[in-house]
């Protein structure tokens, strides 16, 4: 009992002690304080990593706790971040937390501390904050290199539009450090003597290689590159499909590129949730996924796009058999091609167990779809193409899709083919123009080429069959090669039926038939006027009383080289609008309307002419002035054609500019465009092309003729001037002027006759006193005051002072001609006595010194006796020729130096012949009596002989030839 009592007492004491301890614990709860706080740095990501654990937790106990974390910068009091971190905590668990700093961690010292509280409803008494842990200092500058200046962060990647803080750290305190972004200076906040921070707001993408940032001090420079990325977008149009049920081809639109270098570029990954498989895609826009061999039909694929800054994803859910996209068909062929039909065949690739595909066949012609058909096939397909045009190029294409669950058509595949030729299906459009000429019809046929849809091939030639309706057996065939579009026929006055057909390599077209009757049908029809509009020419006509097959309207411009155009109309048509792109303003077009009778004969109904748009005349008529009188004149412009003008000529304006202010009767005063005032006369008849202006005064007038139309008149160009003559002017011109001319002509004839008579009957004797040579004569000491000196001389002596070369002169009455010869010295010609001269009686020679003073000096005119018995050929000078020549040479030089160059000196010699002696005798014989002194009783005419005439050289026969200069037996007294 005692032991039991002791044990009970001990138990009670222990229980009392436990209760006492429990009451103490409950009254003062144990704090759950974070312990073992450790802080690490990740400079590349600018992050602080924290780890710690909580003591005083019982084993297997789990509490939800909140940890409050404070981060200070530079100083502990400068708190820059406070965050509550909630997490369940277990016994002996190591907790982690990270913080990304906006400022690079190396730019400043950071401090971290933490405290906690229990956030569990089961233990409300522990929901109070524990004590703070001590501050943990974090200094990252120790990890920097030894560079004197560093700019941070290094190669940082940010998204476009974000804010970025940069800083620089200097090893030594400096105050003159400047920083710039792409050359633009920036200003920041100084953190410490060695560091400053700069905030860049809303940064923009500049280039793929990054944005350049640098800082510059007095002795150092440092920089960094900031990579700016476009914001990563969520992929669009994500889709997956299969072509053979063995693989999936997934495609998407990645959106705009982030424009980063490869190491920062976005990545794409496919994840299938049912199988849990993942595949990293090699391309940015598509990716292949291998279908599982267990025939999985349902897929839930997620496309994940991510880069270092952001992550995006999009998912699709589908059944594999509903995403079948067949491959394009192959082996497409065309067979059995004809002019209008063809058969198309093709093959398709099998798609798993799908045995039926839906194929679409399309036929293209001239760039558009003509036919489209759907065909269900398995492996091979075939379709019959009909209703095709001959000689036409077609493109046929085919594509296929899944028949049960349509997803997408395959790509088109096709073939080009051309149908064969066929005979033309329509007759040529034919018209004619008929002219009657010399008892025959000139028929010009026109036809238009068949359209491609009607020609059915290349037209090779046209057949023209001419059938005489009056003689049916007379048929003529013409074959005209293409591309001719007409021909000309000459027919007699019979009726003819003409067939025109077009032919290609396959066959002949239907025939166009035209009948040419005896009467060409070109009856005189009054021509009417029409006015065209922008839409064309509107024509209407009255229908004939009888039945017609139709109507034809043809037209042509007022130009000789333009081709006829025509238009066929039905029998119930009485109006039409002619439209053509060839219509031009200012061109007149002529229209003719024909009815086609039931016999196919054309009859002219109406004629029209008009302009699509009238223009004012650009030229005025060429006006001629006729019938000019003293009071009127006539203007004429008959050559002016009104049909070739750019509008209908309604008349003419005659403008007149008189010298007086008043206008003539019928004229009215107008002001022209150049503000000049003139008189205007209006001619209302366009066919009147003459105008007479009367009651005019003898003065000058200026006129101008211009045509006028409904849209204006011709240009006011240069006026033509006309002068009205006086009424007596014609008398002066017709009578007085011819009389004056005849009088002048008569005076000229009288003067010429007088000169001729004077020259023939009494020529002038030169006046010595009027000679300029007279002043040059050098008088000798014993000269006589008279002009004429008397000397004894040999009759008929001539002194040659100068010579002329190249001439031959025949003297009148001379027996021989004198041929000019070269002489370098003066020479004398001695004349034989005439046949009536019987002796050498003395004579007196008068030498004219006015014209030859040199002869006087030399004494050349001396009395020289000539022996009569000496033959003429042996006559010689009494003095030596050499002595005489020397004497003459001196005088010749003196004379020639005083005479003008190029002139021929003349020696004038007059003589008195003796009257005694026998005057008869043979002219060929010389007098036999010796010469003796005798008086010259006969005066002979003074002779002027050119000194350029030379006698033969003295060296020939040692003598000078004698030449008779005077006519035989003729001497004047």
Instruction: Give per-residue pLDDT as tens, 910-947.
Output: 444 444 444 334 434 334 344 444 444 344 444 444 44
At 695, the pLDDT band (50, 70, 90 cuts) reads confident
Q: Is 441 exposed, middle or buried, given 0-12, 13-18 or 19+ CB atoms closer than 10 A?
A: buried
Measure the CA–CA gap between 867 and 871, rounded to whole angstroms.
9
The per-residue pLDDT for 486 is: 93
Given a cut of 70, whether residue 369 has pLDDT beyond it is yes
Residue 169 has pLDDT above 80, yes or no: yes
83: Cα within 13 Å, side-chain hemisphere:
13
pLDDT, greater one: 794 or 745: 745
pLDDT number for residue 125: 73
pLDDT of 391 higher than 70: yes
Residue 565 has pLDDT above 70, yes or no: yes
CA atoms within 13 A on the CB side of 968: 11
CB 610 within 8 A of CB 531: yes
Q: What is the pLDDT at residue 801?
A: 52
Q: Is 43 exposed, middle or buried (0-12, 13-18, 19+ CB in 10 A)?
A: middle
Q: Are 510 and 499 in contact (CB under 8 A)?
A: no
H or E element: which one contains 376?
strand 368-377
> Average per-residue pLDDT in the chain?
78
Task: Give residues with Cβ within 8 angstroms of 279, minimum separation 6.
Answer: 269, 270, 287, 289
The arithmetic mean of pLDDT across residues 567-587, rounded, is 92
pLDDT digits (tens, 9 = 90+) for 717-744: 888 888 888 766 666 667 777 888 899 9
DSSP string, 672-729: -TTS-EEEEEEE--TT--EEEE-S--SSEEEEEEEEEETTEE----PPEEEEPPPTTH
pLDDT of residue 811 exceeding 60: no
Q: Which residues contact 731 (CB under 8 A, 6 or more apart)?
A: none
Query: In this structure, are residues 347 and 240 in contact, taking their beta carbons and an 8 Å threshold?
Result: no
The mean pLDDT of 746-753, rounded to a whole number, is 90
The larger pLDDT score, comparing residue 643 to residue 654, is at 654
Summarize pLDDT for 592-639 with one digit per residue, the tens. Answer: 999 999 999 999 999 999 999 999 998 999 999 988 888 889 999 988
| Per-residue pLDDT, 505 | 93
| The pLDDT of residue 850 is above 80 | no
Tell me if 823 sits within 8 A of 803, measured CB to CB: yes
**For the residues 645-666, what does the mean pLDDT come to?**
86
* pTM for the full predicted model: 0.51
Q: Which two tokens stand for residue 460?
A: 């090779």
**CA–CA dist 839, 928 (Å, integer):** 8
Which of the four pLDDT bands, split at 50, 70 and 90, describes residue 257? confident
pLDDT at 328 over 90: yes
**Tokens representing 368?**
């558009």
- Integer-rounded Cα Rg, in Å, for the chain is 71
In this predicted structure, the answer to whether residue 27 has a pLDDT above a threshold of 50 is: no
- Residue 28: pLDDT band (50, 70, 90) is low
In order of 791, 860, 972, the CA distances from 941 in angstroms are: 16, 19, 6
Averaged pLDDT, 752-767: 79
Pick the residue with more confidence: 430 or 192? 430
């Amino acid at each position: 009992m005692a032991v039991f009592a002791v044990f009970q007492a001990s138990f009670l004491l222990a229980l009392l002690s436990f209760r006492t301890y429990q009451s103490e614990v409950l009254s003062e709860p144990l704090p759950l304080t974070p312990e073992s706080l450790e802080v690490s740095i990740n400079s590349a990501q600018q992050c602080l990593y924290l780890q710690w654990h909580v003591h005083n937790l019982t084993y297997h106990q789990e509490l939800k706790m909140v940890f409050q974390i404070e981060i200070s910068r530079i100083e502990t009091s400068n708190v820059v971040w406070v965050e509550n971190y909630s997490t369940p905590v277990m016994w002996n668990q190591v907790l982690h937390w990270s913080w990304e700093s906006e400022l690079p961690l190396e730019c400043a010292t950071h401090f971290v501390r933490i405290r906690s509280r229990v956030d569990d409803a089961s233990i409300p008494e522990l929901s109070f904050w524990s004590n703070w842990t001590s501050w943990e200092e974090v200094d990252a500058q120790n990890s920097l290199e030894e560079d004197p200046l560093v700019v941070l962060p290094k190669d940082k990647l940010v998204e476009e539009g974000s804010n970025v803080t940069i800083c620089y750290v200097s090893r030594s305190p400096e105050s003159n450090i400047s920083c710039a972004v792409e050359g633009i200076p920036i200003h920041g906040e100084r953190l410490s003597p060695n560091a400053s921070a700069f905030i860049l707001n809303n940064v923009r993408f500049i280039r793929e290689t990054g944005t350049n940032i640098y800082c510059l001090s007095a002795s150092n420079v440092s920089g960094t590159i900031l990579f700016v990325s476009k914001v990563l977008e969520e992929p669009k149009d994500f889709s997956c499909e299969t072509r053979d049920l063995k693989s999936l081809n997934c495609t998407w639109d990645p959106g705009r590129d982030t424009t980063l270098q490869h190491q920062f570029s976005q990545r794409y990954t496919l994840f299938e949730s049912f199988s849990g498989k993942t595949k990293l895609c090699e391309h940015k826009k598509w990716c292949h996924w291998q279908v599982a061999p267990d025939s999985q039909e349902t897929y839930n694929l997620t496309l994940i796009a991510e880069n270092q800054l952001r992550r995006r994803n999009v998912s699709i859910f589908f059944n594999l058999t509903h995403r079948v996209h067949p491959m394009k068909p192959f082996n497409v062929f065309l067979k059995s091609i004809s002019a209008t039909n063809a058969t198309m065949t093709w093959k398709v690739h099998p798609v798993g167990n799908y045995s039926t595909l839906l194929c679409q066949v399309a036929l293209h012609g001239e760039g558009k779809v003509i036919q489209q058909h759907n065909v269900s096939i398995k492996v091979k397909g075939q379709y019959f193409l009909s209703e095709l045009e001959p000689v036409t190029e077609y493109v046929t294409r085919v594509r296929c899709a899944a028949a049960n669950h349509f997803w997408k058509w395959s790509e088109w595949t096709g073939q080009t083919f051309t149908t064969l030729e066929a005979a033309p299906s329509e007759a040529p459009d034919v018209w004619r123009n008929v002219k009657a000429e010399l008892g025959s019809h000139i028929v010009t046929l026109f036809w238009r080429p068949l359209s491609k849809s009607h020609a059915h091939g290349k037209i090779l030639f046209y057949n023209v069959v001419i059938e005489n309706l009056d003689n049916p057996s007379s048929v003529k065939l013409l074959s005209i090669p293409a591309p001719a579009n007409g021909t000309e026929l000459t027919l007699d006055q019979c009726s003819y039926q003409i067939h025109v057909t077009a032919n290609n390599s396959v066959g002949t077209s239907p025939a166009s038939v035209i009948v040419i009757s005896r009467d060409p049908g070109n009856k005189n029809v009054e021509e009417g006027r029409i006015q065209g509009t922008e839409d064309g020419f509107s024509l209407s006509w009255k229908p004939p009383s009888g039945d017609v097959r139709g109507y034809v309207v043809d037209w042509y411009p007022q130009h000789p080289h333009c081709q006829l155009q025509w238009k066929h109309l039905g029998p119930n048509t009485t109006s039409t609008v002619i439209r053509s792109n060839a219509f031009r303003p200012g061109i007149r077009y002529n229209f003719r309307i024909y009815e086609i009778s039931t016999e196919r004969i054309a009859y002219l109904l109406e004629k029209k002419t008009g302009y699509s748009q009238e223009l004012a005349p650009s030229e005025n008529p060429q006006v001629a002035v006729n019938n000019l009188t003293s009071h009127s004149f006539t203007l004429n412009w008959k050559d002016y054609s009104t049909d070739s003008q750019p509008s209908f000529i309604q008349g003419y304006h005659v403008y007149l500019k008189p010298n007086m202010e008043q206008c003539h009767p019928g004229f009215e005063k107008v002001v022209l465009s150049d503000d000049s005032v003139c008189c205007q006369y209006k001619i209302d008849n366009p066919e009147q092309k003459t105008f007479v202006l009367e009651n005019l005064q003898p003065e000058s007038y200026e006129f101008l003729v211009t045509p006028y139309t409904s849209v204006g008149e011709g240009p006011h160009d240069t006026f033509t001037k006309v002068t009205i003559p006086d009424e007596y002017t014609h008398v002066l011109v017709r009578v007085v002027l011819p009389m004056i001319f005849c009088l002048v002509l008569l005076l000229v004839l009288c003067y010429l006759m007088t000169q001729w008579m004077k020259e023939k009957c009494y020529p002038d004797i030169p006046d010595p006193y009027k000679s300029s040579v007279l002043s040059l004569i050098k008088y000798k000491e014993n000269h006589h005051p008279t002009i004429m000196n008397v000397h004894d001389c040999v009759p008929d002596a001539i002194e040659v002072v100068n010579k002329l070369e190249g001439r031959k002169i025949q003297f009148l009455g001379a027996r021989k001609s004198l041929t000019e010869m070269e002489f370098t010295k003066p020479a004398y010609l001695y004349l034989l006595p005439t046949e009536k001269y019987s002796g050498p009686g003395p004579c007196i020679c008068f030498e004219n010194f006015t014209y030859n003073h040199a002869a006087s000096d030399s004494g050349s005119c001396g009395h020289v006796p000539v022996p009569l018995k000496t033959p003429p050929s042996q006559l010689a000078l009494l003095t030596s020729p050499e002595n005489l020549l020397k004497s003459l040479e001196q005088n010749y030089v003196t004379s020639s130096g005083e005479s003008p160059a190029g002139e021929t000196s003349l020696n004038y010699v007059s003589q008195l012949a003796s009257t005694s002696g026998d005057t008869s005798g043979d002219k060929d014989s010389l007098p036999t009596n010796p010469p003796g002194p005798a008086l010259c009783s006969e005066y002979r005419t003074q002779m002027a002989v050119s000194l350029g005439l030379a006698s033969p050289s003295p060296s020939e026969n040692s003598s000078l030839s004698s030449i008779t200069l005077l006519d035989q037996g003729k001497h004047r007294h």
